[in-house]
Amino acid sequence: MVLGDFLISKNKDRYESYVNEICNKLNIKSLLEIDLYDLCDKFGMKVNLELVSDGLNTAVSSGKGRRGIITLCIAENEQIERINLAHEFSHLYLHNHSQLNIDSVEINKNELEAFKLASNILIPSNELLKLSVDPELNTTYIIAEDVAKHFNVTLEFAYQRLLYFQDNYKFGRHEEDAYLYTMTKSFDMSYSKPRPIKIKYMDLVILKNSNLNKKIHL
Ligand SMILES: [Zn+2]
């Protein structure tokens, strides 16, 4: 089974709409098909790589549409580089103004928005719904560690993405699935009528990684 099989309800998320808008513009089905540097290039964003690891990543808007210059410092690993680039792309896509003259409330709002778009770019909701889940022991787990590996991001980023994902997507077993039909064989070789037994079920659970016991109910 896949995660989408357990979906009960979802809210509209405007960052998913942005991802659809980007895909339509580029004529692709999923943003996982495109390299992030190419993605920036397609929107007229120039990426300058800085050969320092402790500098600031920045995005400076040209003030014209979504164009601008991204300065990206060398990251510890490929996963962090991808997250940083998707984040700065998101700033230019969403915010065509400088962060220099705005207050801290506005900065926090912009940062959250950039995280939401970047996480939809790197871990699209429809791809999350395709993940296989393990209904063993009548419990279904999503392990953030597996999501991180699957989408080539850090564990922390995958975990934050799953927390945000569960704001809009609600999962559980449908009531029909909570019944098991049993066929009881009787001594004269005929079968009794199937008897519905209500089984106890648990909600889907996110585990941060396979060693941690941090459970989040979806
Ligand atoms: Zn930022």
| Domain span at 115 | 9-127
pTM for this one? 0.81
Residue 211 has pLDDT above 80, yes or no: no
Within this chain, do residues 123 and 136 fall inside the same structural domain, yes or no?
no
- Same structural domain for residues 114 and 138? no
Residues with CB under 5 A from ligand 1 (ion): 111, 114
Q: How many CB atoms lie within 10 A of CB 68?
A: 25
Compute the mean pLDDT over every residue in the chain, rounded to the nearest whole number.
Answer: 82
| Model confidence pLDDT, tens digit, residues 142-163 | 888 889 999 999 999 999 999 9
Quote the CA–CA distance of 49 and 27 in Å, as a whole number.
28
130 C-alpha to center of ligand 1: Å?
29
Evaluate whether 179 touches 196 at the Cβ level (below 8 Å): yes
pLDDT of residue 140: 62
What is the distance between the alpha carbons of residues 94 and 117, in angstroms, rounded to a whole number? 9
- Residue 2 domain-assigned (yes or no): no
Query: Which tens digit of pLDDT belongs to each residue from 5-46?
Result: 878 889 999 999 999 999 999 999 999 999 999 999 999 999
Q: Which secondary structure element, helix H or strand E, spans residue 215, and what is its range?
A: strand 215-217
Q: Are residues 107 and 62 in the same domain?
A: yes
- Reported as a single tens digit per residue, the pLDDT across 64-74 is 889 999 999 99
Cα(114) to centroid of ligand 1, in Å? 6
Structural domain ending residue among the three candidates 74, 105, 127: 127
- Whole-angstrom distance, CA of residue 58 vs CA of residue 98: 10
How many angstroms separate the alpha carbon of residue 198 from the centre of ligand 1?
Answer: 49
Task: Calculate how far, in angstroms, residue 197's C-alpha sits from the geometric centre of ligand 1.
Answer: 52
Same domain, 206 and 192: yes
Please tell me the distance from the alpha carbon of residue 188 to that of residue 99, in angstroms, as a whole number.
80
Beta strands in 17-128 (DSSP E): 45-50, 58-61, 68-73
Single-letter amino acid code for the residue at 17 = S
> What is the pLDDT, as a whole number, of residue 203?
55
In a domain, 116, yes or no: yes
Confidence of residue 202 (pLDDT cuts 50, 70, 90): very low
Q: Any idea what the CATH number is for the domain that residue 20 is in?
A: 1.10.10
For residue 155, give both structure tokens: 């564990």
Q: Are residues 95 and 180 in the same domain?
A: no
